[in-house]
Amino acid sequence: MDTSARDFLVELLETPSPSGYETRGQRVWVDYVSQFADDVRTDAYGNAIAVHEGDPDGPEVVLTGHADEIGFIVKSIDDDGFIRPGRIGGSDPTVSQGQHVTIHAADGPVEGVIGQTAIHLREDGEEPEMEDLWIDIGAESEEDAEDLLEVGDPITFSSSVSWLTENRLAARGLDNRVGTWAAAEGFRQAVEAGTEATVYAVSTVQEEVGVKGAQMVGFDLEPDAVVVVDVGHAVDYPSAPSEKTSQMELGGGPGLGRGSTNHPVIFEGLRTVADSAEIDVQIEALGLGTGTDADGFFTAAGAIPAQVVSVPNRYMHTPVEVIDTDDLEEIATVLGLFASRAHEFAPFEVDV
C-alpha cells in the first residue's frame, strides 16, 4: 500500500463516524475522492457520491461502502454526574466495560471510561446488559456533567490504529471504513484505467441502523449494478465458532457473497476479473440476505443488481477488529477491474 493510500486509510479510521453523526468522516472521504472525480456531492443526510462520467450509452456502476461505525449515545445523566449510554448500532456490552471512550460534545471531546465493578466485588456468570453500563467522566454532579455535554451526544471507543505487522491492522471501526476506502481506491483505479462506464464511488450513512443510506442512494441513482464492500467474519482464530459461517480467513483474498441478494452475473464478473489478475477469492454463503448495504440497494428502486464483497475481519463489533491489508488492496484492484470491464458483463440480468 503506497503512502497516500495508507495515510487515507488511517485518517478514515481515526476520524469518529458513528451512525447519524458521520459528517467528519465523510469530509475526509470527499476530500480524497475529489482529486480524481468529475464531481462529488452529498445529500441531505450526508451520503457522499463521487462520479466519473463515462459513455452515456455505457453501464452505470456503483462501488460503495458505509461510513458509519457502531458506538453509543448519551441517553441520560444521573444526579451524581454519571452518563447512561444507549446503543448506536450493534454495540456489544460484553466488550465495553473497562474501556476508554470519547464523548463528542459540541464544545469538544469529553474523555470518559465505562466503569466496571472490580472482580473482587462481583458475582460470576452474568454478562452485562446495556442498562448495566455507565460512563464516568469525573463529574461530581449532574450540573458538572451538563457543563460539558448534553443528551444525544455520540460516543465512540477511544482506541486508535495499531499495525500488528506490516499488513495486519487492528482498530475500531474497520467495519466499515475499510469498505469506503476500497470503494474510493477501486474508483481511482477505474478512472486511471480510462473506463468507458459511468462509475460512482459512494460512502453511505446509517448502515449500522438499518441500511438507511443505501436505500436513499439507490433510489437516487438507479444504477445498473452495485458492488458493496463490507466486512465478513474471519474464523481463523482460537475458539472461533466456524460452524456458524463460511470458512474465511485473513490473507485468503476477497470474500465474494453467493445467494439471496447477491446477483449471479456480478458475482461471475468479479470472479472473472479476479482470476485475470491472479487474485484468489473466498466464497461466502449468504442465503438469508447479506446484512449489508447490498440489502438496501437491491430493491431500492425496483430491482438493482447488487453484490457484496467482504473484507475478512476478526472480532467484528469490538474495539480491536483485525484485517489483513493485502485482502483490502486486492478488493480495490478487483473493483477497479470490474468497473473498467463492466461493458463485458452488462446487461446485468439473469436468464429466465
Furthest C-alpha separation in the chain: 70
Does residue 166 have an active-site annotation?
no
Q: Is 233 annotated as a binding-site member? A: no
Q: Which residues contact 301 (CB under 8 A, 6 or more apart)?
A: 218, 219, 222
Question: Which are the contacts of 88, defined by CB distance < 8 A and separation ≥ 6?
Answer: 18, 19, 20, 70, 71, 72, 73, 154, 155, 208, 209
Q: Is the peptide bond before 47 cis (omega within 30 degrees of 0)?
A: no
Is 107 assigned to a binding site?
no
230 labelled ligand-binding: yes
- 63 close to 188: Cβ distance less than 8 angstroms: no
Q: How far is the C-alpha of 211 from the C-alpha of 260, rounded, in Å?
A: 16
127 is in an annotated binding site: no
Is 208 annotated to bind ligand? yes
Measure the CA–CA gap between 345 and 268, rounded to whole angstroms. Answer: 9
Q: What share of the chain is helix, strand, coil (3-state, %, to 5)?
A: 30, 30, 40
Cell of 11: 485518517
The conformational region for residue 119 under phi > 0 = left, psi -120 to 50 = alpha, else beta, is: alpha
- Catalytic site residue from 22, 60, 185, 207: 207
Q: Give the contacts of 61 (CB within 8 A, at least 6 positions apart).
A: 197, 198, 199, 200, 223, 224, 225, 226, 227, 338, 339, 342
The Cβ of residue 194 has, within 10 Å, a number of other Cβ atoms equal to 9
β-bridge pairing 198-204 and 154-157: unpaired
Annotated binding site: 66, 175, 208, 230, 317
Q: Which residues are catalytic?
A: 207
Annotated binding site for Zn(2+): 66, 175, 208, 230, 317
